[in-house]
Amino acid sequence: MTRILRRKMPCAATHPKSSDASASAVVSAFSNGSPIQAADISYELAHGLLLHPPMRILDPSGTRKYDKAMEEEANWLGPALLVSDEAAMHIAALG
C-alpha cells in the first residue's frame, strides 16, 4: 500500500510529467517498514524545511538530474530530524 502525504511547503522533487512544480507530495511505501519509511519522510521534509525550490527529477530526455549540494543538505538534516530530544541532550552532555 502506498500513501501520499501532501503538504503546503514544496518538496524538491516533483513528478516528472507534472506541469505544476508546486504540486508536490511525499510518497511513502508502507511495505518499506517503519524505520525506512521514517527516514524517507524526514529526508523529503528536510528539503522543504531547507526551502529547496521544487524541481523536476528528470530532464526532457529522461535523464535524472539533481542539485548535489541540496541533496547533501537534505541527507544531513533528514536523519537529524529523527534524533529524539533525549538522545540529543545526552550527546550534548558528553561534550
Whether residue 71 is predicted with pLDDT greater than 50 in this model: the reply is yes
C-beta pairs of 23-32 under 8 Å, 24+ apart in sequence: 24/54, 27/2, 27/3, 28/2, 28/3, 28/4, 29/1, 29/2, 30/1, 30/2, 30/3, 31/1
Helix (H, G, I), strand (E, B) or coil at 68: helix
Distance between CA atoms of residues 32 and 21, nearest Å: 27
Would you state the cell numbers that stand for residue 55, as one nine-digit string?
524541481
Mean pLDDT of 19-46: 70
* pLDDT greater than 90 at residue 30: no
Instruction: Please tell me which residue, 27 or 68, carries the higher pLDDT value.
Output: 68
Scan for cell 529526508, then name that residue. Answer: 43
pTM of the model: 0.61
pLDDT value of residue 84: 92
